[in-house]
Amino acid sequence: NYSFFPGSPKWDNTKRALTYAYVSSANVALSMDDVRVAVQSAFKSWSQVTDFTFTEIGTESGPVDIVVGFHSGDHGDGYPFDGPGQVLAHAFAPQDGRLHYDAEEQWTTSPTGQNGGLEKNGWFGRRRRRPRKPVSIDLQSVALHEIGHLIGLGHSSVLGSIMFPAYGGVRRDLTQDDVDGIHALY
């Protein structure tokens, strides 16, 4: 089932219109426009099942609630990234708002074929040749998971849920367990 962080931290009841901005310390091959579209879609999925709205603003227009960015190696928050593979991204519990992507991963916003593709079963299906490392990782799927953390969800034991702690290939839709979890918190 779904879970929360210890003590169930959540965003204040007065904070439902959240703003976000991009601040990166590393570059990736993707265009920022593609990144924006993918991350925005992930935010939209969560806003459709909650009272939250997520609006991108520029950092110069004042304080933002959520800061999204790409970083590599030690980037100053005590949780250094580890190069290609393993840790893909991390996000902090409410009301911190930091969402960091490991810039050294093979990110994609339009996965095709292989385990990067949109096939139904992803890594959980009956695959004969299970790759050790994904060829490319779907930015939107990871964003959906990390935004779950940002708004207060821990990991779920439900296989196939967005908050299940294993990258299962492309998964861009919240499952009932994810929705139940966020509804139990807010």
Q: Which residues bind Zn ion (CB under 5 A)?
A: 77, 79, 100
100 binds, among Zn ion, Ca ion, ligand TQI, none (CB under 5 to 8 A by kind): Zn ion
User: Is 58 an interacting residue with respect to ligand TQI (CB under 6 A)?
Assistant: no
Binding segment toward ligand TQI, per CB under 6 A, in 10-18, 43-51, 145-153, 174-182: 145-153
- CA–CA separation, 151 vs 130, rounded Å? 32
Q: How far is the CB of 61 from ligand TQI (least distance, A)?
A: 28
User: Is 74 an interacting residue with respect to Ca ion (CB under 5 A)?
Assistant: no
Q: Which two tokens stand for residue 65?
A: 């609630």
Active site residue 146: yes
Beta strands in the chain (DSSP E): 17-22, 53-56, 66-71, 89-91, 98-102, 107-108, 137-138
CB-based contacts of 41-47 (< 8 A; 24+ apart in sequence): 41/140, 41/143, 41/172, 42/140, 42/143, 42/144, 42/147, 42/172, 43/143, 43/147, 45/144, 45/172, 45/173, 45/174, 46/144, 46/147, 46/148, 46/151, 46/174, 46/182
Number of residues that bind Ca ion (CB under 5 A): 4
Number of residues that bind ligand TQI (CB under 6 A): 13
User: Is 167 an interacting residue with respect to ligand TQI (CB under 6 A)?
Assistant: yes
Query: Tokens 């030690």 label which residue?
Result: 74
User: Is 68 an interacting residue with respect to ligand TQI (CB under 6 A)?
Assistant: no
167 binds, among Ca ion, ligand TQI, Zn ion, none (CB under 5 to 8 A by kind): ligand TQI
User: Is 87 an interacting residue with respect to Ca ion (CB under 5 A)?
Assistant: yes
Q: Candidates 17, 63, 73, 82: give the one binding Ca ion (CB under 5 A).
A: 82
Beta strands at 137-138 and 98-102: parallel, antiparallel or unpaired: unpaired
The set of catalytic residues is 146
Residues that bind ligand TQI (CB under 6 A): 87-91, 141-142, 145-146, 149, 165-167
Residues that bind Ca ion (CB under 5 A): 82, 86-87, 102
